[in-house]
Amino acid sequence: MRAGGPTDTVPTAPLPDATILGYPRIGPDRELKRAVEAHWRGRLDEAGLRRAAAELRTATRARLRSLGLTGASAVPADFTYYDQVLQVTTAFGALPERFADLRGGALSADGSSGDYPGTSLDGYFTVARGRGEDAALEMTKWLDSNYHYLVPEIDERTVLDYVPGFGAVDPADGPVAQVLEAARAGEQVPRPVVVGPVTYLLLAKPSDAAADGFALTDRLADLLAAYGHLLADLWAAGAEWVQFDEPALVSDAWSLPREEVLRLVHDVYTWVAAITERPQVLVAGSYGSLGDALPVLASTGVDGVALDLVAGGLPSAEDLAGLAGRSVVAGVVSGRNVWRTDLDAALTALESLRERLPEDARLSVGTSTSLQHVPHDVERETDLDPAIRSWLAFADQKVAEVQVLARGLAEGRDAVAEELAEDARLRAERAAHPGVARAGVRDAVAALTGADRTRAPYEERRAAQTERFHLPLLPTTTIGSFPQTAEIRRDRAAHRRGELDDAGYEQAMHAEIERVVRLQEELGLDVLVHGEAERNDMVQYFAELLDGFVTTQHGWVQSYGSRCTRPSILWGDVARPAPMTVAWSQYAQSLTDKPVKGMLTGPVTIMAWSFVRDDVPRSLVADELGLALREEVADLESAGIGIIQVDEPAIRETLPLRLADRESYLTWSVGSFRLATGGAAPATQVHTHLCYSEFDVVIDAVDHLDADVTSIEASRSRMDILPAVAEHGFERQLGPGVWDIHSPRVPSTDECAELLERAVAALGIERLWANPDCGLKTRAYEETVESLRHLVDAAHRVRAEN
């Protein structure tokens, strides 16, 4: 049965000296996205999709070999069509009740018994995307990255099963299928990558059907049995190593107390190690330091550990002592940023680690995380300033770096003297580049005082604003963007290509702004917006107008499923050469007597959705952005814009994974927002907007933002968060969303009114606003107009009744 080797026990082949923990799955030209979306639209059948995916995987393995990852187990097999957590969920049949019909049967077509727990490929996509009333699995951020995974929903009855042999016929081409595919092609065996059992449990949530008192850990035995069968299947397919990704171990912000997490780690890996028919197990602790989980892992029989030495520090000799005889992958090349690795510093870290490790531990060089967070190849960025390009390393360049470092470690620094010298030269060039450190910007940041981050007391502001705006109780507004129609996109694209000149573009955008302003007047909204038609993206728009950023041509990374983003690269000190939004806002305001809200993206969100420089602390970058935005706020005020919204939807998502790191993060992130808004006059009303729920986690920080009005996502949870807001003592104005803009569904007036009544009951009407959950750019006008009409009617009704 076992194809790969002569043994009938755990294989013993060592890990290669250089490896990566994972590689972008989307393809250099987003081949996977294109094929998957063509399949969804019915233009590519399942066989065609699977063929396209197989070609992409084959090309990826060949590429990695040609880049030098040649040994057995050097190349990761981490492909999945949509999400790596979903891959485990569907392989184990762990579908919530609403998708129970998608389990098993699909395979009976090819003669299998039908009791396989897994799904068909279309079942896999259905769970990811939902169907009719059956909501998709919830999507949420993967650790502190911009990748989103699908949250498993588990209860007492959820199937958690895996039938050996399934991998060979898995229609979702999971890890076993990928090992077999490489074997069939006569290639070196790759190293399958699977989300590990502890992380799978910690990332899951109890399903709605779970009984009170149900704990996810109640299902540990079933989960382990499924993983055990999967291991046997991988072993039978010939895998020498399997990588279990256990990033959850680097965080202590789970509802399970740390001691219980550690006990779980101990139990799970003691159990795994006792299996005899399995590949060797490499446990990868990416996105931070394993901390006290490292000695616990070492106390089990796992064969290897991968350490993130970029986000986490060097472990102590004491914590490393238990790793005698094991493999250690030292993640010194960042899988998160786009910068060349400081080869000298990385070699020093590797040498120190080698000194601290027990003698017979085997050290390999690797990436800190999967490279799924970075684009493929910087060589393709031919439009980039060559100086800036020479400082960058995308996935392919990082593959080369791990090998240089492995050589330096094995053969000594002399063996890589040329590479070290070249890196030092580029590093010196970068440091000396005039845009990297602008004296004016650095001086301005150094001169900041607390006063720059402090507005007049809220009561004073409230009085000045009441007098200025005469807003009714429960004022109505939107979050900023209006639907981005095909015409808007067409005009923007034509302008970008030079086919529409500046005057024509301005005319088109003015026409759109006028349309949106008239519509809002007709709907009876109280505070209007210009609609953001000119913005391709709320971060990139600003990145293109600020000094210190570059944008790429091919720098796509997966955000979720088939969705990719192309983050800008923040490489230098930030400066604002000219106003960025003033003309559009001013034009909108010229059309109406109602206040038009200016619209900016906050410093933390601009940073979170870009690739940020690695040569200065993030707090400095945040303040530089804060200063640039502060100038914009001043110019908006001078242009007569009295209400200014600074969006910070990302403040929650970059929250550190370790509780102990949160306070300092919140201090500088909140500080940068206060810098951006701190110059605003008392009569200027500052709004902020946050979404992606979990408001409760950051409520204290949001309070410190000191915005006059905060809008949040609240409709899906039916305002459940508001009693906590009241209890917290959050005193300023709040706009809890009453319309879930993530779906085309139109909420009725009654529904909106009921949510508003709930909000009034929790917080009182005096400080409430009525608005949707988020911007409307992804919605169509059809549902937008009707929904906003209902929202305004509901506000009127609730106003009259209170």
Q: Which stretch binds ligand GLN (CB under 6 A): 182-190, 231-239, 258-266, 474-482?
A: 474-482
Q: How far apart are the first and last CA of the chain?
A: 75
Q: How far is the CB of 671 from ligand GLN (least distance, A)?
A: 21
Q: How far is the CB of 693 from ligand GLN (least distance, A)?
A: 12
Nearer to ligand GLN, 480 or 682 (CB): 480
Q: Is 525 in the site for ligand GLN (CB under 6 A)?
A: no
Q: Is 689 in the site for ligand GLN (CB under 6 A)?
A: yes
CA distances 228 to 113, 127, 225, Å, are 21, 24, 5
Tell me the per-residue interface mask from 647 to 676 with ligand GLN, x by CB under 6 A, - otherwise.
Answer: x-x---------------------------
**Which of 599, 628, 712, 795 is the binder for ligand GLN (CB under 6 A)?**
599
The rounded distance, in Å, linking the Cα atoms of 744 and 266 is 46
**Among 679, 652, 649, CA closest to 666:** 652
Nearer to ligand GLN, 445 or 479 (CB): 479
What secondary structure, in 3-state letters, does 689-701 show?
EECCCCHHHHHHH
b (16+ CB within 10 A) / e for 663-676: eebbebbbbbbbbb
- β-sheet bridge partners, residue 139: 150
**Among 535, 428, 415, CA closest to 483:** 535
Only one residue has tokens 């981050």, namely: 453
Q: Which does 480 bind (CB under 5 to 8 A by kind): Zn ion, ligand GLN, none?
A: ligand GLN
The rounded distance, in Å, linking the Cα atoms of 782 and 794 is 19
Asked whether the beta carbons of 638 and 586 are under 8 A apart, the reply is no
Q: Is 311 in the site for ligand GLN (CB under 6 A)?
A: no
Q: Is 39 in the site for ligand GLN (CB under 6 A)?
A: no
**Among 276, 203, 283, CA closest to 2:** 276
**Among 365, 355, 370, 266, CA closest to 316:** 355
**Tally of CA atoms within 13 A in the half-sphere of 86 that contains its CB:** 28
**Which of 80, 280, 481, 672 is the binder for ligand GLN (CB under 6 A)?**
481
**Among 19, 397, 399, CA closest to 190:** 19
Question: Which residue ranges make up the site for Zn ion (CB under 5 A)?
Answer: 649, 691, 774
Q: Is 480 in the site for ligand GLN (CB under 6 A)?
A: yes
Q: Is 373 a catalytic residue?
A: no
Q: Is 512 in the site for ligand GLN (CB under 6 A)?
A: no
Q: Which does 245 bind (CB under 5 to 8 A by kind): Zn ion, ligand GLN, none?
A: none
Q: How far is the CB of 102 from ligand GLN (least distance, A)?
A: 31
Q: Which does 234 bind (CB under 5 to 8 A by kind): Zn ion, ligand GLN, none?
A: none
Q: How far is the CB of 433 from ligand GLN (least distance, A)?
A: 33
Asked whether the beta carbons of 699 and 730 are under 8 A apart, the reply is yes
What number of other Cβ atoms are within 10 A of residue 454's Cβ? 11
Query: Which class for 798: exposed (0-12), middle (13-18), buried (19 or more C-beta within 10 A)?
Result: buried
Which position's Cβ is nearest ligand GLN? 775
Q: Residues 751 to 780: which contact ligand GLN by CB under 6 A?
A: 774-775, 777
Q: Residues 531 to 570: which contact ligand GLN by CB under 6 A?
A: 532, 538
**Which of 88, 298, 479, 792 is the binder for ligand GLN (CB under 6 A)?**
479
Write the CB contacts of 783 (distance below 8 Å, at least 6 apart in sequence). Answer: 744, 745, 746
Nearer to ligand GLN, 372 or 771 (CB): 771
Q: How far is the CB of 536 from ligand GLN (least distance, A)?
A: 11
Nearer to ligand GLN, 84 or 645 (CB): 645
Catalytic residues: 742
Positions that interact with ligand GLN (CB under 6 A): 479-481, 532, 538, 599, 647, 649, 689, 691, 774-775, 777
